[in-house]
Amino acid sequence: MGRPAAPARNPEPMAFFAVFRTAFLLAVLSWRTCQSEVLPERLPLTPESLHISINSTLQHLHLQWTVHKLPYQELQMIFQIEISRFETSKVIWMGNYSTTVKRNQVLQWSWESELPLECATHFVRMKSTVDDARFPELSFSSNWSPWEEVHAHTPEQNTDLIFPRDKLVEEGSNVTFCYNSGINQNISCYLDRELIHGEQLYLNIFTFKLNNVPFIREGGTNIYCAVNYTIKDGTVLFVSKVLEEPKDFSCETQDFKTLSCSWDPGVDTGLFFDGQPSQHYTLFESFSGKKKFCEHNNQCNWEISRDLQETYNFTLTAENYLRKRSVNTIFNLTHRVHPKAPDSIHFNNVGATNATMTWKMPALGNYSTLLCQIELHDKENMRQEHNVSIKVNGEFLFSELMPDTAYMVCIRCANAKHVWKWSKWVTRTLITAEAAPSKALDVWRKVKPEKGLHHVTLFWKPLSKFHANGKILFYNIVAKDLDKKSELKLQSIPAPANGTELTLDQGSYQIQVTANNSVGASPASEIVISGDSGNEEVEEQKINGTKDGFLISWKPLSEDRAGYVVDWCEHQRNLHCELQWKNVGPNTTSTVISSDAFRPGIRYNFRIYELSTEKIAYLVENKIGYTQELAPSDSPQVKAINVTSHSFTLSWKDYDTEAQRGFIQGYRVCLKSKATQCHLDSVAELLPDNSTCCEHAINNPKQKIFLVENLQPESFYEFFVSSFTSAGKSPIGTFTKVTTQDEHSHMLMHIILPMVLCVLLIAVMCYWKSQWVKEKCYPDIPDPYKSSILSLIKSKESPHLRIMNVKDCTPDTIEVVNKSEGTKTQFIGIEKPLTESEFPKPANLYLLPAQDFCVPGPCISFVNHTYSESACDSGSCAHTPVPDTAPPCHLELLASPDNLLNTLEKTHTDSLGEIPAGKISLNYVSQLASPMSGDKDSLLIHSPVPVLCSEYKMQMAVPSCLDSPVLSENGSLSSMTLLGQDKHYH
Amino acid sequence: MRAQLTWRTLLSLVLGLLLLSPAVEAAVAMCRCSNSYTQLLGQLRSQANLMKDTSCLLEPFIRLQGLDTPVLRESCMKCSRAFPSEDTLRGLSRHGFLQTVSATLNGILHRLAALQQHLLKGKNMPEMQVATRNIQGVRNNIYCMSELLTNCSETPEPLLPGPRATLMPSTLNFFKSKLEGCQFLCGYHRFMGSVGQVFGEWGNSLSRNRRHSPRQALHKGARRARPSRRVKRPVPRGQLFR
């Protein structure tokens, strides 16, 4: 429940009084001996004047008392103390306090209560016992002192219910609270949110104890009591974090003027409470005895005295209300030098390979020697490292630098005698000057002879930064004619370029290429183009590559050589060949060509050149290969030719074997047919669609034709040709279909074709000679002299029979007498036979058969206008020309008289075609006009009108105005139609 | 052209230095006052509505002090009565209202400073700083509104008895100080809500005058509200901090 506090002590008496005391005690003892014989009762050494005070903050009862009538100057005594709470009978603590008591001394003793003292009235009493071996006769106990009652004072006695008020403890402590419920039976007390169940101490006094309290917040933990949500009282328990010992405490100087001490303070123990601000720190130096209160909680500056005290012993004390922690450090000042970073760093006399760096060390003066560490880095690595000792100013010469290179120079310094801490690194950039390129370009060429010229493409690899020594500005190309010795061609190619093209004649040229930067040119790189460069031809050799590249070997051409060059195109099929080359030494006859650009299924062509000592390149070998062969990506496009009844031929001559993804080793011809078994020279092959085919193997990649034999006529076949490499076959695509021919079809062709040709020939001949045949066989107007009749007549030799010559008479009328049999005449439009009686005026004859409404029967008349012109003029002519606008009798002109004539003739011929010879008899009354004389035109223009019969009229010219519009229309066939059939007019 | 730029730069510099001077603070506030009654009123309404939000200050305070329990929160919400009630504010004339609000806000500023010192021991509570700046901004706007009303010949009136004394903390134990601070902040938010309500009832026209309350006569001669002189740089009138 409680524990005694340390008592307060009075000052010791002086030595003089000690001697006196001894004498006095001896006298008293003698006197006591005498008295004991006279007064046998005990001495009443009861504690008196007991005064009790309370320290609420510390929860201490502070007791003060005296012992009167002390028989000796001092006695060793034991005080038995009883403390009661609430009532004198409720003793809560009993204990002894042993001390040496001096006469008239005020004795003090404290007791710390766990329970807040404000919660209860306390009673204290005590009695004493002499426990002094010197005076065994005094070993008795006094009477108890009267009970002393004590009350804790509270500011608001009536309202404060909970104690202690605003208690500050350290994390992990135990705290006892009490509260007075007063008359409120429904009072509830809480610790933050938690309802507290207190232990009843006395009547309405309850208590509860918190063990190992944690830190919750800087604002403290609220403990309060309320009745029906009405706060009656509350208090705050402030729990502080435990003050930590400062860590990493150290001091150092950068200028020998100030020591800067720093440490890690750990947690902040400050609270929102006046009694516990953040902890503060004090620095104490024991040699000088100086002390400094630190303004910051993690560092403190200490001024170094002018006499430069050599050794320091510092004690750093951290302190808050509850605790104090200290750490110590002792050191020599020169061992705690932490220089500031170097400054004023400059580079002087910067050349291509060397430079001088200068710098200064601030603030340290000449008190100590400094060691400076210098590092030189390029982009990748540290190249140089140097240590330099200096006082204040430093200087260092860098050498063996690379031209035109950016270096990072880092420098830091520390005390040379005792390195405590290095200064911060300071970094500067040093860029060296440029120098002329140090290495000749790696140059190669490609020569293409054409029309007596050499198209030379030069390639070169850019110089590495290491060899370029600066930015390459341009490349110079000098071509010197070795035959003429003096002719020079100079080209300057601005950078960046890695090649150029030259056109040279077929002489020998020495070509020099140099790279140039701002300082100078690189050593020249030479190659020679001889007259026969580019014309070399060697046989291609196949090589096998691997994933790692190609192993290429060759045989030397000559003993006197400068080396070899192997070149190849990384992308062979591209238009722009990315020419790559590799230089090989003169004594090497094999090399491995590897490249990340190599891909499987790509054919690479390697050409090996031998370089003579004159820098002329001779092609040694030519090799082709794949890093990895793949199956062909496409199959040949095959044509079936020469299809017969028993065979056909397959051809794939367009298949480019060099473009495939591997060396083509041959072909497989797959043939499907209805036949269940394959021929002897083929094997059955199962296809992906589970069908089978007969596969013929061709193992010669150059054979691109295949004869398929032993087939059935008129049979259906399907075939497919695939190529194959070492990696496999090309994919199977669509089968091509072929049907063999009929076995006799060729014979039919042998017969039918000539026959058709003959017929055609005859037809052509007939057409060609049709006029002649017509004239011969079916003349329009038979020439009596040419008639075969004459031959008959002549053969009969009848003197009475002769042909009448027209010239012999002057007829004016021809009468055609239609015989009765002529009813069968197929005149168009004639629907019934005409009789002679139906022609009242048969003097005129129309050549053209009229429609039924025009003429009732065949009536042909020729009009001789020569004779009847006057009659027409007088208007007596009944058959004047009908205007061409008059429909149904409008006639169109034929395109030409010949056409018209032909048409008429044909129509007429057609119309009469079925008329047997002799059925129509013509009585030539007069025949003045030839059919070619233009009569037909007149006849056509003056189309038939609905009259019974036309008259024989005078001939006259057809007006052009009538010609033209009709001619503009296409009318030949129409006219024929008009003339003939179907009763239609066009 | 270059000479013009130089003069402008110098002028800007001088003006900038003037702006920093506390002596010219009021003048600056006045110079920067808007002549737009509607704009000022709108800003005051917005500021009041924002500042009545308990999440701006009261809730952070409750959390920081561990008062976020049902019982303690209940006690917190028994807001301090040291602030003029809404009815009281509503009964004032416009001038009287503005002066009363300004004076109350001045008292609040002092009380917040005391809270900061007593309950937070000067430790940083960002919401407290924001609230302080917002109050200063409102006071500046109130000053401008007063100027505007004065120019419109509304008679300045005295303010209500200074609530400053009643807003100061008593020397209680820490727990009671916490509760009192909490209740004070509750009262502050409620007061700002009342201010917002009254501003909301103001007409949008400057010419419309309010009826004077009977209390008006009792406080003649009282000082007019002045903008906060604590502000080194006057807070822009419309600026709100969250």
pLDDT the model gives residue B191: 96
pLDDT the model gives residue B57: 95
Verify whether the Cβ–Cβ distance B72 to A222 is below 8 Å: yes
Query: Bigger pLDDT: A818 or A140?
Result: A140
3-state secondary structure of A979: helix
pLDDT the model gives residue A900: 40
The token pair at A509 is 């040229």
Verify whether the Cβ–Cβ distance A221 to B66 is below 8 Å: yes
A188-201 mean pLDDT: 90
Residues of chain A positioned with their CB less than 8 A from the CB of B66 = 192, 216-217, 219-222
Does the pLDDT at position B161 exceed 70? no
Give the one of B123, B174, B179 whose C-beta lies nearest to A231's C-beta: B179
| Domains of chain B, first to last | 20-201 (1.20.1250.10)
Mean of all residue pLDDT scores within chain A: 77
User: pLDDT tens for residues A27-51?
Assistant: 444 444 444 444 444 457 888 888 9
Query: Bigger pLDDT: B73 or A832?
Result: B73
pLDDT the model gives residue B156: 54
User: pLDDT tens for residues B80-127?
Assistant: 989 999 999 999 989 999 999 999 999 999 999 999 888 888 777 899
pLDDT the model gives residue A41: 47
First to last CA, chain A: 149
Residue of B nearest to A193 (CA): B69
pLDDT the model gives residue A504: 86
State the DSSP code for A467.
Answer: H
Verify whether the Cβ–Cβ distance A224 to B67 is below 8 Å: no
State the DSSP code for A141.
Answer: B
Binned at pLDDT 50, 70 and 90, residue A65 comes out as very high
Say what the pTM is.
0.55
Minimum mean pLDDT among A12-26, A65-79, A496-510, B185-199: which range?
A12-26
Minimal Cα–Cα distance from B115 to chain A, Å?
11
Verify whether the Cβ–Cβ distance A231 to B120 is below 8 Å: no
pLDDT the model gives residue A427: 95
A123-128 mean pLDDT: 92
User: pLDDT tens for residues A744-773?
Assistant: 766 777 788 888 899 999 889 888 888 777
Does the pLDDT at position A362 exceed 90? no
A258-283 mean pLDDT: 91
pLDDT the model gives residue A69: 79
pLDDT the model gives residue B155: 57
Residues of chain A positioned with their CB less than 8 A from the CB of B74 = 229
Minimal Cα–Cα distance from A273 to chain B, Å?
7
Residues of chain A positioned with their CB less than 8 A from the CB of B174 = 166, 220, 235-236, 273
User: pLDDT tens for residues A663-705?
Assistant: 999 999 998 887 777 877 888 888 888 888 888 889 998 898 9
Residues of chain B positioned with their CB less than 8 A from the CB of A236 = 173-175, 178
Minimal Cα–Cα distance from B229 to chain A, Å?
29
State the burial class of residue B233 (Cβ atoms within 10 Å of its Cβ: 0-12, 13-18, 19+).
exposed
Distance, CA of A402 to CA of A400 (rounded, Å) = 7
Give the one of B66, B123, B176 whose C-beta lies nearest to A192's C-beta: B66
A334-341 mean pLDDT: 91
Give the one of B67, B120, B123 whose C-beta lies nearest to A222's C-beta: B67
The token pair at A744 is 């006799």
In whole angstroms, how far apart are CA A763 and each of A749, A750, A757, A776, A843?
21, 21, 10, 18, 44
The residues near A450 (Cβ < 8 Å, ≥ 6 apart) are none
Distance, CA of B111 to CA of B164 (rounded, Å) = 8
Category of A119 on φ-ψ map: left (φ > 0), alpha (ψ -120 to 50) or beta? alpha
Residues of chain B positioned with their CB less than 8 A from the CB of A273 = 121, 174
In whole angstroms, how far apart are CA A623 and each of A550, A664, A802?
10, 16, 105
Cα–Cα–Cα angle for A369, A372, A378, nearest 5°?
170
Give the one of B66, B71, B123 whose C-beta lies nearest to A226's C-beta: B71
pLDDT the model gives residue B208: 52
Minimal Cα–Cα distance from A154 to chain B, Å?
11
A125-153 mean pLDDT: 86
Residue B7: HSE in the Cβ half-sphere, 13 Å Cα cutoff: 4
Q: What is the 3-state secondary structure (H, E, C) of A22-50?
A: HHHHHHHHHHHHHHHHHCCCCCCCCEEEE
pLDDT the model gives residue B242: 40
Give the one of A165, A226, A270 whose C-beta lies nearest to B173's C-beta: A165
Give the one of B66, B71, B176 whose C-beta lies nearest to A229's C-beta: B71
State the burial class of residue A619 (Cβ atoms within 10 Å of its Cβ: 0-12, 13-18, 19+).
middle
Give the one of B69, B121, B175 whose C-beta lies nearest to A192's C-beta: B69
Above 0.90 for ipTM, yes or no? no
Residues of chain A positioned with their CB less than 8 A from the CB of B121 = 270-274, 277
State the DSSP code for A678.
Answer: -
Binned at pLDDT 50, 70 and 90, residue A811 comes out as low
User: What angle, rounded to 10 degrees, do the helices at A972-980 and A897-911 form?
Assistant: 30
Query: Bigger pLDDT: A935 or A578?
Result: A578
Interface size, chain A vs chain B, as Cβ–Cβ contacts under 8 Å: 68
Verify whether the Cβ–Cβ distance B175 to A221 is below 8 Å: no
The token pair at B241 is 């901090």
Distance, CA of A257 to CA of A364 (rounded, Å) = 9
- Determine which of A231, A238, A268, A278 to mutate to test the interface with B (most B C-beta atoms within 10 Å): A231
Verify whether the Cβ–Cβ distance A219 to B64 is below 8 Å: yes
Binned at pLDDT 50, 70 and 90, residue A25 comes out as very low
- Could you list the beta-strand ranges (E) of A630-691: 639-641, 648-651, 666-672, 683-686
Q: Any chain A CB within 8 A of the CB of B67?
A: yes
Q: Any chain A CB within 8 A of the CB of B69?
A: yes
- Determine which of A236, A237, A273, A278 to mutate to test the interface with B (most B C-beta atoms within 10 Å): A236
Please identify among residues 885-914 of chain A the ones whose CB lies closer than 8 Å to any CB of chain B. none
In whole angstroms, how far apart are CA B168 and each of A177, A219, A541, B80, B97?
30, 20, 107, 11, 22
Does the pLDDT at position B225 exceed 50? no
Residues of chain A positioned with their CB less than 8 A from the CB of B175 = 166, 222-224, 233-236
Verify whether the Cβ–Cβ distance B123 to A272 is below 8 Å: yes
DSSP letters spanning A807-834: GG-------PPPPGGGGG---TT--S--
pLDDT the model gives residue A805: 58
Q: Any chain B CB within 8 A of the CB of A271?
A: yes
- Determine which of B175, B179, B180, B183 to mutate to test the interface with A (most A C-beta atoms within 10 Å): B175
pLDDT the model gives residue A152: 82
pLDDT the model gives residue A913: 39
Minimal Cα–Cα distance from A210 to chain B, Å?
18
pLDDT the model gives residue A984: 38
Does the pLDDT at position A110 exceed 70? yes
Residue of A nearest to B171 (CA): A155
User: pLDDT tens for residues A670-679?
Assistant: 988 877 778 7
Query: Going by DSSP bridges, is the β-strand pair A370-377/A705-708 parallel, antiparallel, or unpaired?
Result: unpaired
Does the pLDDT at position A477 exceed 90? yes
Residue of B nearest to A189 (CA): B71
User: pLDDT tens for residues A451-468?
Assistant: 888 888 999 999 998 899
pLDDT the model gives residue A808: 57
pLDDT the model gives residue A714: 83
pLDDT the model gives residue A444: 93
Verify whether the Cβ–Cβ distance B64 to A217 is below 8 Å: yes
Query: Bigger pLDDT: A529 or B170?
Result: A529
Query: Bigger pLDDT: A859 or A815?
Result: A815
Cβ atoms < 10 Å from Cβ of A939 = 20
Verify whether the Cβ–Cβ distance A190 to B179 is below 8 Å: no
Does the pLDDT at position A850 exceed 50? no
For tokens 């004619």, the residue is A481
Give the one of B74, B123, B179 whose C-beta lies nearest to A229's C-beta: B74
Q: Which residues pair with A525 in a beta bridge?
A: A513
Does the pLDDT at position A842 exceed 70? no
CB-based contact B97:B48 (threshold 8 Å): no
Verify whether the Cβ–Cβ distance B72 to A220 is below 8 Å: no
Does the pLDDT at position A251 exceed 70? yes
Binned at pLDDT 50, 70 and 90, residue B172 comes out as low
Q: Any chain A CB within 8 A of the CB of B50?
A: no
Query: Going by DSSP bridges, is the β-strand pair A355-360/A393-398 parallel, antiparallel, or unpaired?
Result: antiparallel
Does the pLDDT at position A314 exceed 90? yes
CB-based contact A924:A811 (threshold 8 Å): yes
Could you tell me what percent of chain A has a pLDDT over 90? 35
Q: Any chain B CB within 8 A of the CB of A151?
A: no
Distance, CA of A636 to CA of A732 (rounded, Å) = 10
CB-based contact A294:A279 (threshold 8 Å): no
Name the nearest CA neighbour of A430 among A335, A533, A355: A355
Cα–Cα–Cα angle for A357, A362, A364, nearest 5°?
125
State the burial class of residue A481 (Cβ atoms within 10 Å of its Cβ: 0-12, 13-18, 19+).
middle
Query: Bigger pLDDT: A903 or A179?
Result: A179
A341-369 mean pLDDT: 88
Residue A492: HSE in the Cβ half-sphere, 13 Å Cα cutoff: 7
pLDDT the model gives residue A539: 87
Does the pLDDT at position A7 exceed 60? no
Q: Any chain B CB within 8 A of the CB of A193?
A: yes
pLDDT the model gives residue A746: 67
Minimum mean pLDDT among A403-407, A426-430, A478-482, A863-867: which range?
A863-867
A352-377 mean pLDDT: 87
Verify whether the Cβ–Cβ distance A234 to B175 is below 8 Å: yes
pLDDT the model gives residue A908: 42
CB-based contact A456:A502 (threshold 8 Å): yes
pLDDT the model gives residue A812: 58
Q: What are phi and psi of A949, to 5 degrees?
A: -160, 145
- Which range of A402-406, A936-940, B139-143, B234-238 scores highest in mean pLDDT? It is B139-143
Minimum mean pLDDT among A39-48, A399-408, A666-675, A707-716: which range?
A39-48
pLDDT the model gives residue A161: 82
Q: Which ranges constitute the DSSP H helices of A874-921?
A: 897-911
The token pair at A347 is 């580079």
Verify whether the Cβ–Cβ distance A273 to B174 is below 8 Å: yes
